[in-house]
Structure formats: structure tokens, C-alpha cells
Amino acid sequence: MIEKKELTVLLPGRELKLHVAADIEALITDVNDEDKVPCWADVWPAAYGLAYFIWENIDFRPGESVLELGAGMGLPGIVCGLKRADLTLSDFNPLALEMAGENARQNGLNVTLLEEDWRTFACREKYDYILASDILYHPQLNPFLGEIFINNLKPAGKIIISHPERKATYDFLEAWYDHSLFSQEKLIREVELTDALLPRYNIVIHVFKSLRA
Ligand SMILES: C[S@@+](CC[C@H](N)C(=O)[O-])C[C@H]1O[C@@H](n2cnc3c(N)ncnc32)[C@H](O)[C@@H]1O
């Protein structure tokens, strides 16, 4: 049983309540196994940046689908759901998915939960949008995400990636980005967090639009 605490997220004109783990250190079971790092149990600054960006800039058409990869607590995906997208939250950690699903339900959403590891990703569904909030941090995992971006995006779909100016993300995107397959827009969204040691972040948002018709 995970001890939880409530988090309030203020979007312009809308207040959102989520639950995150109250004590992340208590969830550490094996410090030598990277897969067991409980980085899913809180909302990362990049997730706030992506959530604000989506809330302020994107209007989904009825029936448009969104897949959030490495969703953790699910904030950016939930914002898409509030804007009427058809939402799938995905993570390889079942506890993360359980909490993300509860967070979605407590904000009035019906969502699909997809338990998948990027290294063995078997889902063949294609989505209008794929969200990636601070998940391109590991040079060995990044190529698997690159394949999912290609395989699971609908023609003319968009991949939206956010990160706090991570070198591993920039390096991956520089190698992965193919001008003949995608157009790219890049912007910075400032994020201020009241209860963090480091309160201010510049979150980089990349929007890749598929050029396939
Ligand atoms: C840094 S956290 C980011 C969480 C969330 N996107 C956010 O920004 O708040 C990375 C997320 O990716 C998930 N993850 C890590 N490795 C994964 C893998 N191999 N397959 C699927 N999900 C994975 C973790 O469980 C965690 O939820």
C-alpha cells in the first residue's frame, strides 16, 4: 500500500488534483537496478511544462487519440483527456499505472491503461498524438522510444516531447530527427514550482509533426 499525498496543479481557469507518492525513498527496493528507480512516483517539472503547453495551445478534434509513454502520474495525458482527447496512459510499472488511472478517474476521465515496456513494446495501435515527458534520458532506452514514435503514430500525427534541457534528449533527437519524415517546432516553457528545492525550470518542448499524409 503506497502512502499518497495530494498535489494541486493550477492551470489557467482550472484546478486539478492528483495523488503522488508521499515518500518516494520508501519505494526504493534495489539501488542497483535502474528499472526499479521509483521515478514514476512524482510529477516531474517537464510534465508541468508539457501540461501547461497542451492546456494553452492544443484543441483536440472529437475522437483524436493520445498515447502518453512513461506516464508516471499522468499529468500531461490527463490534461489531454480534459480537452476531450481519447487517452491511453502507458508505463511499465504497474503501480504507476494504477495511480495514473486513479488520478484520471478522480478528474472525471475514462482512460485506457497500457502496461508495456519500451524494450518489448507489442502494442500496434496508432495514435494521433504521442506524449513523452522527460523519458528520453537513457542512451540505451532512447532508440526503443524512437521506434515507438515511428510505429505507433498515425499519418499526420504529432509527437510532443518535453525535457529540462537534457543532453541525452538533445543527443537522441539530433540523431533521430529525419527532416523528410517530420517537421519540428521547438519552444521553451518556463515552469515555477512552489515546493521544490530548485523552483524554476526552462522546459523545452519539441513538437514533431509527421509529414506522411
Ligand atoms: C523520469 S520519469 C517521468 C514520469 C512522467 N512522464 C513525468 O514527466 O512526470 C520516467 C517514467 O518512465 C517510465 N519508464 C522507465 N523505463 C521504462 C521502460 N523501459 N518502459 C516503459 N516505461 C518506462 C518510469 O516508470 C517513469 O514513469
* DSSP codes of every residue in 76-109: HHHHHHHTT-EEEEEES-HHHHHHHHHHHHHTT-
Ranges 27-31, 123-127, 208-212: which has the least confidence:
27-31
Instruction: For residue 159, give the CATH number of its domain.
Output: 3.40.50.150
- pLDDT bucket at 189, cuts 50 / 70 / 90: very high
Nearest CA residue ID for atom 4, ligand 1: 72
What is the 8-class DSSP label of residue 34?
G
Distance between CA atoms of 68 and 80, rounded to whole angstroms? 10
* Predicted confidence (pLDDT) at residue 195 exceeds the cutoff of 90: no
Residue among 92, 120, 142, 205 to mutate when testing ligand 1 (max atoms within 8 A of CB): 92
Report yes or no on 33 lying in a domain. Answer: no
C-alpha 90 to ligand 1 mean position (Å) = 9
- Asked if residue 25 has pLDDT above 90, the reply is no
In which region does residue 70 sit, left (phi positive, over 0), alpha (psi from -120 to 50) or beta (all else)?
Answer: left
Higher pLDDT, 197 or 174: 174
Query: Which residue has cell 523552483?
Result: 199
pLDDT (tens digit, 9 = 90+) per residue, 143-184? 999 999 999 999 999 999 999 999 999 999 999 999 999 999
pLDDT tens-digit map of 44-83: 999 999 999 999 999 999 999 999 999 999 999 999 999 9
Q: Is 97 in the pocket of ligand 1 (CB under 6 A)?
A: no
Contacts of 13 (CB under 8 A, 6+ apart): none
Q: Report if residue 160 sits inside a domain.
A: yes
Rounded-to-integer distance, Cα 135 and Cα 153, Å: 17
Res 26 pLDDT > 90: no
Q: Return left, alpha or beta for 134; rule: phi > 0 is left, psi -120 to 50 is alpha, else beta.
A: left
168 is in which domain, residue-wise? 40-210
Residue-level pLDDT at 197: 78
- Name 58's Cβ contacts closer than 8 Å, sequence gap at least 6: 80, 83
Ligand 1 pocket: which of 18, 39, 89, 103 to mutate (most atoms within 8 A of CB)? 39
Query: Is 3 inside a domain boundary?
Result: no
3-state DSSP call for residue 138? coil
- Is 101 part of any domain? yes
| Count of structural domains within the chain | 1
For residue 99, what pLDDT is reported? 97
Could you tell me if the CB of 96 is within 6 A of ligand 1? yes
Q: How confident is the model at residue 29 (pLDDT cuts 50, 70, 90)?
A: confident
pLDDT in tens, 91-146: 999 999 999 999 999 999 999 999 999 999 999 999 999 999 999 999 999 999 99
Distance CA(197)–CA(158), nearest Å, equals 33
Q: Are 15 and 8 in contact (CB under 8 A)?
A: yes
Residue 25 lies in a domain: no
Q: Is the pLDDT of residue 196 over 80?
A: no
Q: How far apart are CA 3 and CA 190, in angstroms?
A: 30
Q: Model pTM?
A: 0.97
* Spacing, Cα 113 to ligand 1 middle (Å): 14
Closest residue to atom 20 of ligand 1, CA basis: 117
Report the candidate in 91, 86, 59, 60 with the shortest Cα–Cα distance to residue 74.
Answer: 91
Identify the H or E element spanning 8: strand 4-11
Indicate if ligand 1 lies below 6 Å from the C-beta of 201: no
Which residues lie closer than 8 Å to 172 by C-beta, 6 or more apart?
Answer: 136, 139, 142, 143, 145, 146
Residue 200 lies in a domain: yes
How far apart are the CA of 40 and the centre of ligand 1, in A? 6
| Domain contains 103 | yes
pLDDT band, residue 30 (cuts 50/70/90): confident
Q: Is the residue at 116 inside a domain?
A: yes
Our answer on whether the CB atom of 70 is closer than 6 Å to any ligand 1 atom is: yes
Question: What pLDDT is recorded for position 194?
Answer: 82
